[in-house]
Amino acid sequence: MPSHSLIGTTTTNRRGSMEDYPNPFNPETIHELFKLVWSQTNKARAQKEGGETELEVGAAASKKTRTTTANSNALKLSCEFLRLFVTEAVQRAAIVAEVEGSTQIEGTHLERILPQLLLDF
């Protein structure tokens, strides 16, 4: 008997498990997003510390010139966490939509589940 609900089985279905599908998040894209955030953080920190004219000595001075990087395993793990987060958000929003009798997930459904989802992650 086919089910017509929004909520399907996520671990197994006719086509296989979720693990059989490639991660939709590209590590290179995630790395570029990380670099953007890191550069914005560094700019904000530099503006905040712009009033200081003293020379810093030791490790702190090298920290300013050091670039932030992420290795490939960290990027793969970040992509997997994003995949899990988005999958869980869609599943929870689908439950809310189904309870309301809706056949589509709307922004309001996501707004309702996000506070608890953030606490759970």
Residue pLDDT, tens place only, 59-116: 555 556 677 888 999 999 999 999 999 999 999 999 999 999 999 999 999 999 999 9
pLDDT tens-digit series, residues 4-26: 344 443 444 444 555 667 888 99
Query: What was the pLDDT predicted at 16?
Result: 53
pLDDT tens-digit series, residues 18-56: 566 788 899 999 999 999 999 999 899 888 887 554 445
Nearest Cα neighbor of 80 from 29, 16, 23 is 23
CB-based burial label for 51 (10 Å; 0-12, 13-18, 19+): exposed
